[in-house]
Structure 1
Amino acid sequence: MKYVNKYLIVLLVAFHFLHAGTTGKLTGVVIDKISREPLVGANILVNGTNFGASTDLEGRYFILQIPPQTYSITFSMIGYKEVFVKDVKIQVDLTTTLNAELEEGVIGMDAVEVTAQRPMVQADVTYSQANITSDEIDMLPVEELEDIVALQAGVVNSGGLHVRGGRSGEISYMIDGIAVTDPYDAGMAVEIENNAIQELQFISGTFNAEYGKAMSGIINIITKSGDFKKYSGNMSSMLGSYYANDALFPQLDVFRPNTIQDIQGSFNGPIIKDKLSVFASGRYKRNSGYLYGQKIFVPESHQWNSQSNNFEYISPSHALWDSLYHPYGINDSSWVSMNWSDQYTGLTKFSWIINPTLRIAYSLSGSETASQGYSHAYKWNPYGRSHQFTTKLSNMFVMDYSLNPSTFLTVSLSKSVNHYRSQRSDKRNYYQDHSNISIDSVNFFGFSYVDTTISADPNLFYVSPTIDDYTPGNNFEVGGHSMGYFEQKSTINTFKIDGTSQINRYHYLKAGFEYRKTNMSLTSYSVQLAEYTGYTPRVPNAMESPSHNTYGKKGRNPFEYAFYLQDKIEFDDLVVNIGLRWDYFDPKWKILNDPSDPNINSPVKPINRFFDLDGDGQISEVEMYPQNQKDNEDRMSSNAFGNSWYKNAKVKSQLSPRFALAFPITDKGHMHFSYGHFFAIPQYSYLYTNPEFEVPAGSGTGYTMGNGDLEPQRTTQYEVGFSQQIGMDIGIELTGFYKDIRNLNATKIIQSFVAGDKYGLYINQDYANSKGITVALSKRASAKISGNIDYTYSISEGNASDPAAAFNDEASNIEPEKMLVPLDWDQRHTLNTTLTYHPIKNSGVGLIFSYGSGLPYTTQYLGVRTSFENNARKPSTYNIDLRSYYHFEFSGMKLSLSMNVYNLFDIRNELTVFSDTGRSTYTLVPTYTPQYSGPGYNSLNEYLVRPDYYSSPRQIKIGLSVSF
């Protein structure tokens, strides 16, 4: 920490500390309407706030640090009539220019009222970004953050969000200026609902130096704050159901409005008027899902016993009910939802104006989720699947201090906890003693999920699904549980200081420092249940089995910090963004000196097992006796090469320049160009996989190993764009981009000392590039219609889509690709259209149309690849979602009736396909696989019907909301 303090002092001395991207800027010129002369000392006030300014000798003014929102602005001066301007929109990281002409008059006369007309082309935009307000979100059929982002140009939603050809996990998430990306898996460590979002900024271009730890995009969320003068609130309830008359989706032919429940509400207002306010929101949602299985079997239906060569029926008391296989199942064949979810989320934010120069905000947000994912193998034994539990909790503290009207300082502190578990957890107790493992099953709301897998009775059974070892292929599980257990927890502590300074008319300076430390714990294993365990469930020893991974009691504690400095230079006919960012990362981990003999607890090289008594560098049979064996301490200090067993991973750093400019080409059009280098630490899961460095003898190519010495992944991006306003209400934007992506995570095959044993080590080797153009057409509300059309043409190629591709190819005896191939998310044509229409007052219809050309896949026949990777294309996809609503007043409150319909025309988009046909609808497997005629098993055709290969069917939700 002393090094952090040293750098902090240097930074403070070097320049005024300046606010990350959470606010906007208002600027303009005030003149006399008749003489056209600038007015000196005119007052500008942002109504409803304490933001304001006065004009200088040139009649110019600027107001910094304004939260994104739509405001009214008042211009006033002694001897002149006031000018009142409505609907002035302030956006994150952007400058809103608002000029005013004052005419002479007596103070107190009726003010001149004007409605601001925002230009369709924002003159100071130097890279591609989208700013979506809360009002725009409310009008569209979108319910999650990902739904909004997926509509933006350059985004492909396929196994995660891919921005301009990048891999998933290359996006940085920010809330109120604080990074909230979980470094373990690059997901969002905090759950934020749409009703808590004031503005969403999505950056897909070459973002400024203040943004880091991302190679593809930035999702910057500004949450709502409480009003300091008046109270308001909202409560809504929606009920719904999936509805489809299709045998592919059983149980959906009847509309059951209780299968989807969505209740949410918000409240905001003053606690102390003009001083302290609160905003609070919460949501409960339950979705019963649309994929159903049948309870033909339950986990305890059958247990394979190799000693008696029979299937045994196991009851909780170990009673042997039937020594023979029960061919037609033992349960009631009732239908069970297999992809349900249940979630609570909440956010509370306090805002305190201590004095005109000092503001403080504190927010607490969290969520609790329980769910189960669909598993086709368990379709007839749905209770055998694992449950997933996620708890997220975040505390954020932000202090804003005004050093003077042109310079602001912001200090931020946050602590986020992301806790995920996947385990067998239901009302049955078939498990072994877990008393030595600590698992917190109580969430922060105080609700508790019954963790019945924790049992003090070691005799309770966990039933294995190994019956499948006996049954032929293409059959559903007829008993047993999922044998895996996974728990991972990340605690992320962040300190950040940054700010802004308008040092003169032209230079708008930003600078900052961020320190982030993460503590991670992990426990992962597969329960062993076989003859060698005496058919008693057992957790494998973490030091002996690669199937049991743990970070130990202290976990992993990597840390990182960064400095940035940037300047936004605004001339009348040129805007330049120039910046520099420096990132530093210490993995706090170790790597092997001798990768061919990785496991210090079970070495295979004789010289690592015994002392070399005669010093000849080899171990003879004479030296191989028990008393001459080395222990771990001996091996730690010296391995076969005379080095210590481990060495510390190196710290990593990078200097990343950013440059962008924009200039006008017509009175309502401009061009921009941007260039930048982007640096991202690999997901921590790739650094710390298999932390015991275990590769058992005789395992073949069966395991991968993390690498604490992975280098940062790097992207160089270029962008050029053109924007033009057409008429009063239409804007068009054309953008071209190119990305060169290097040092991507890959796997290298390491040959163990034991012949035939290999493992995959994560390294930096993969390469990719993407290029494309986007065309965006936007129309603001006029003639009752508004909307956007975004089209993207892109090509995304690389040597591998998956970091584990080389390892998987080696395990399958496939020659790795040595040329650039289409990546899995290489969608050449993407079209998104949003339309809102207001046919009558207080009503509206929102429509979303999405189209995507076919994604690539690799053709196979009889399980053998028939060409190069991703040589063919899946069918294209399209979808239409609809939202309609009607508002009316009742007893002083506003009521709203609404209906959301997702997949309006119930389209069957084929997302996953059979590799021998390229379709979800059929496969050639029946032509070379005989039907199994034994009693009780599913037919081959039953197994090959895959509802999980398609997009979700039509979903209808009907709601009522009350606002005051």
Structure 2
Amino acid sequence: MISTLSVAQSTGNLKGRIIEQSTKQPVVGANVLLDNTQSGAVSDTAGIFSIVNIPIGTYSVTISMMGYQTKNITEITISPSKTYYSEIELLDGVGQLDEVTVVSFKGENNPLTPVSSYSFSREEIFRNPGSQGDIMRALSVLPGVVSSGAQFSAIAARGQGTQDNVYMVDDIPMFNLSHLEAEGFASGFNDPNGGRFSIFAPRIIDNVQFQNGGFDAVYGRKSSSYLSLGIKEGNKESWSVSGQFDLLGPTIIADGPVSRKTSLFASARYQNFAALQNILDIQNTSAVSFGDYLLKTTTQLNTKNKISVVALYNPESTSRGIDDINPDTDLNEDNSAGTVLWNHRGSKAMLGVNLQTLTSTDSYWKNVLYYRSSTVDNNFGRFTPSLNSEGLILDPSYGRYEDDLRTIKNNQQEIGYRSIYTKHYDKLTVTGGIDAMILNLDYERNLGRVDTIYTFRSTDFRPSPSQYYQVLDPDRFNSRYENSAFSGSAYVTFSWRISQRFTLNPGVRYDYTGFAEQHTVSPRLSGAVELNDKHSINFATGVYYQDPAYSDIGGQREDNKLKNSRTIQSILGYKLQFSPDLKLVVEGWHKQFDDLIVQPNRVESFLMNTGDGYAYGADVSLVKRLSRKYYGQVGYSYMVSNRDDNNNLGEYDYIFNTPHTINLLLSYKPNDKWIFSGKFRYSTGRPTDEYIVHPDVLNNPDKLRYGQEITSINGDRLPDYVSLDVRVDYYVPMKRGTFSAFLDLVNISNRFNVNSEIFLPETGRAFNLGLGVFPTFGVRVEL
């Protein structure tokens, strides 16, 4: 097929628009050079440039203009009879940086984000080994970022959790960005590991900005990190249709102009894990599937107004019934899933309109109107297996089971509006704005009958010290909450170039949280000192308040209003730009936590704001940006994160306390046909509870049950996480497009990496949740 579709070399075109980052105005007279060729162009009065009749292949482009940072963009792929179109932002030159070429992408090397700022291009995301094109998995290689690894993709940053990050998609705030978050699986409450797969298919995200703390006052309501994802805009010049078919399912993308002013980008992905489970011979697992559907239109209304409309729909389902349990299964084997049955249905949806207006030659105004929703409908059951003398399950259908012991419904809808105005002066940029949102929360958690819980803390109430289990009454678990609340924010931030080498960014944010009925004020400050054209010192400090999770709000009595938690952050860093595409970043950081939400009894709904804690650490990263044939990254992070629930038990390690993390990434492209990539990850094992096991806690040999008494919260550790990921991509040009194939292997050594331990009262032992090798492969055709 490849030889039939392959043709002799032909040509394509490159076209784009160059705008100034701080004002969004067109840059007139910018020089655009196709590297290692004699081809180039100059942007016109609208910022438009065009280079035609380029031989097909992959190129890098350098954009330069007096008074701006020179920018180099790599991996621009020219296809036969197609026009590659891109909108490119240039940053003001700062000090001597106006004479330095920096290989960068949107938002990088911006004075407003002097610390912990990283970016990924579309191509870097796609070829990140072990990620399968998943942006959340690609982020796990960054310093200070921790994920549960293996089947989980959600990230935790610098001593905080997976639910503590600001997520913005085309300037629209999102609930979360992952599929298959196991809400209610662990004793009826949220799984701290987060979700397992991003809701964005490969090649959907065009640019990524990630700030590992210290972000400015424009963003709030979460306190850990800031992640901005830009969805690709439709090509304004030519159409393309691509299809990717891999082990998990198909992805279709359409991209092109629908009129002279409007372009469209659309994608559809369906994933089903049955084939992968068969290849890995995973037994007793669940049926898993999800879909991701996206539509985005972009219209240049006139020279001053640009509007985009984006819609997302992300359904998912997973189930495990009695028919999924195989006889002769050892309950204690890894990933046995124990005795839990479940049926999960959920979805996420978003519709947003973003209007960008150039109000003058040095200012612009963004107005964003959006609707978003999230639905969860979970049923949890349990079966009581009959075991033989060796502890293996006999025919499950002869055991006792129930499908709906616990149910959880969590439906959230939000209508929001954001208005942000930016004004640029000679040495000062001012950004101010307001956010307003109305959220409706419909939450219900239900326990169908009195239940026996065999895992408990030593401090949990029991009628007798010799009772090594807890009896959970539905009155202590059930919750019903339906309410709406208004929340609003106002903020202003300044970027002040005090001198050619010193930039200071003060700001302040006000928030009102409707469900908490609380007003908060968050002052913030960051800055950068350019020592010379290569060396700089960066710093940030500020106060960050975080809203209670909606599932936590829904589980409380009406008179128990949870407050916002508070984090005080401080960061000090040093950056050395060795060359245009190579930089070293070293940062030390500290966080102080107050008013953290804690759960006095691990099986009850009641929560309190009595926790506090601290975290500190240091990150070192050496980043080689994607240029010419290779790119890579070396990173090391040291992190300590401790919490105290103030229940007279003292401090304990937070679940994402991982003192040592090492990441190595390398990608090499010897020619336009082959790309080879590898990634090594090491992390100290995550904290886990220390416990003792009590036998025959029911005093009934015919109904043998074991009790797990937790004697020290997170007093032990899981085994260290170690993974080597490998990816190979192969490309062949065709008459009107490209054919490619890929192989992506997560954890090629097949080391079993443990995410968590689940205690089994039937056997008195724990089985491990985790994953060994995780392969995927497929082909992609673009026409």
How high is the TM-score relative to the length of structure 2?
Answer: 0.75
The farther-off stretch of 882-891 and 766-775 is 882-891
The 3 A distance-change label for structure 1 pair 749 and 830 is closer
Deviation digits for residues 487-535 of structure 1, max 9, x if unmatched? 2211111111112111x211111111001111121233234599xxxxx
The 3 A distance-change label for structure 1 pair 282 and 339 is same
Q: Which residue does 1:194 correspond to in 2?
A: 202
Preserved CA contact (<8 Å) 1:735 1:773 = yes
Q: Which residue does 2:54 correspond to in 1?
A: none
2:359 to 371, 388, 403: 403
The code of the aligned residue for 1:524 comes to R
- Secondary structure, counterpart of 2:402 in structure 1: coil
Shift of 1:825: 1.7
2:234 counterpart of 1:226: yes
d(CA) in 1 for partners of 2:49 and 2:540? Answer: 37
The 3 A distance-change label for structure 1 pair 93 and 712 is farther
2:661 counterpart of 1:842: no
d(CA) in 2 for partners of 1:377 and 1:42? Answer: 62
Shift of 1:726: 2.2
2:770 counterpart of 1:951: yes
Deviation digits for residues 342-368 of structure 1, max 9, x if unmatched? 111111011111111111111111111
d(CA) in 1 for partners of 2:447 and 2:390? Answer: 23
The 3 A distance-change label for structure 1 pair 375 and 414 is farther
d(CA) in 2 for partners of 1:505 and 1:711? Answer: 42
Deviation digits for residues 345-399 of structure 1, max 9, x if unmatched? 1110111111111111111111111113699996659998221111222111111
1:131 to 119, 130, 141: 119
Q: Which residue does 1:47 correspond to in 2?
A: 48
Preserved CA contact (<8 Å) 1:409 1:499 = yes
Deviation digits for residues 710-764 of structure 1, max 9, x if unmatched? 22100000000000022454211100000001110024589xxxxxxx9774221
Deviation digits for residues 558-602 of structure 1, max 9, x if unmatched? 221000101112342111111110000122xxxxxxxxxxxxxxx
The code of the aligned residue for 1:658 comes to R
- Secondary structure, counterpart of 1:272 in structure 2: coil
The 3 A distance-change label for structure 1 pair 718 and 86 is closer
Q: In the TM superposition, what are the counterparts of 1:277-296 in structure 2 within 5 Å?
A: 277-288=263-274
1:789 to 634, 641, 649: 634
Preserved CA contact (<8 Å) 1:276 1:353 = yes
Q: Which residue does 1:620 correspond to in 2?
A: none
Q: In the TM superposition, what are the counterparts of 1:768-807 in structure 2 within 5 Å?
A: 768-781=613-626, 784-800=629-645
Q: Which residue does 2:684 correspond to in 1?
A: 853
Deviation digits for residues 603-636 of structure 1, max 9, x if unmatched? xxxxxxxxxxxxxxxxxxxxxxxxxxxxxxxxxx
2:574 to 710, 722, 731: 722
Percent identical residues? 17
The code of the aligned residue for 2:144 comes to G
Q: Which residue does 1:180 correspond to in 2?
A: 174
- Secondary structure, counterpart of 2:203 in structure 1: helix
2:526 counterpart of 1:660: yes
d(CA) in 1 for partners of 2:587 and 2:624? Answer: 18
2:727 counterpart of 1:883: yes
d(CA) in 2 for partners of 1:819 and 1:384? Answer: 33
How big is the alpha-carbon RMSD for the aligned residues of Structure 1 and Structure 2? 4.4
- Secondary structure, counterpart of 1:711 in structure 2: coil
Preserved CA contact (<8 Å) 1:208 1:566 = yes
Q: Which residue does 2:437 correspond to in 1?
A: 516
Shift of 1:192: 2.8
The code of the aligned residue for 2:445 comes to S
Q: Which residue does 2:545 correspond to in 1?
A: 679
The 3 A distance-change label for structure 1 pair 667 and 464 is closer
d(CA) in 2 for partners of 1:677 and 1:95? Answer: 28
d(CA) in 2 for partners of 1:377 and 1:368? Answer: 22
Deviation digits for residues 797-836 of structure 1, max 9, x if unmatched? 1115xxxxx8xxxxxxxxx554222222210001112210
Q: Which residue does 2:109 correspond to in 1?
A: 122
The code of the aligned residue for 1:550 comes to R
- Secondary structure, counterpart of 1:480 in structure 2: strand
Shift of 1:400: 1.2
Q: Which residue does 1:578 correspond to in 2?
A: 506
Bigger fraction of residues in strand: 2
d(CA) in 1 for partners of 2:604 and 2:123? Answer: 53
2:726 counterpart of 1:739: no
d(CA) in 1 for partners of 2:124 and 2:103? Answer: 15
Q: In the TM superposition, what are the counterparts of 1:586-605 in structure 2 within 5 Å?
A: 586-587=514-515
Q: Which residue does 2:749 correspond to in 1?
A: 905
The code of the aligned residue for 2:479 comes to N
d(CA) in 2 for partners of 1:87 and 1:663? Answer: 26
d(CA) in 2 for partners of 1:868 and 1:377? Answer: 35
- Unaligned ranges ≥5, structure 1: 1-18, 32-40, 50-68, 77-83, 101-113, 240-260, 293-333, 425-462, 531-542, 588-649, 692-705, 751-757, 801-805, 807-815, 916-924, 930-937
Q: In the TM superposition, what are the counterparts of 1:90-489 in structure 2 within 5 Å?
A: 95=91, 97=93, 117-118=102-103, 122=109, 124=111, 125-141=113-129, 142-143=131-132, 144-158=134-148, 161-181=155-175, 191-239=199-247, 261-273=248-260, 275-288=261-274, 337-372=284-319, 380=327, 385-423=341-379, 465=383, 478-482=399-403, 483-489=405-411
d(CA) in 1 for partners of 2:235 and 2:95? Answer: 27
d(CA) in 2 for partners of 1:211 and 1:191? Answer: 22
Shift of 1:771: 0.5
The 3 A distance-change label for structure 1 pair 783 and 71 is closer
d(CA) in 2 for partners of 1:22 and 1:28? Answer: 15
- Unaligned ranges ≥5, structure 2: 1-18, 32-41, 51-58, 77-85, 178-182, 184-189, 330-336, 452-472, 695-707
Preserved CA contact (<8 Å) 2:445 2:555 = no
The 3 A distance-change label for structure 1 pair 832 and 24 is farther
Equivalenced residue count is 658
Deviation digits for residues 429-454 of structure 1, max 9, x if unmatched? xxxxxxxxxxxxxxxxxxxxxxxxxx
When Rg is computed on C-alpha atoms for both structures, the one with the higher figure is 1
Preserved CA contact (<8 Å) 1:44 1:74 = no
Deviation digits for residues 51-108 of structure 1, max 9, x if unmatched? xxxxxxxxxxxxxxxxxx99775879xxxxxxx98739999998364999xxxxxxxx
Shift of 1:202: 1.4
Preserved CA contact (<8 Å) 1:567 1:577 = yes
d(CA) in 1 for partners of 2:503 and 2:94? Answer: 17
Q: Which residue does 2:446 correspond to in 1?
A: 525
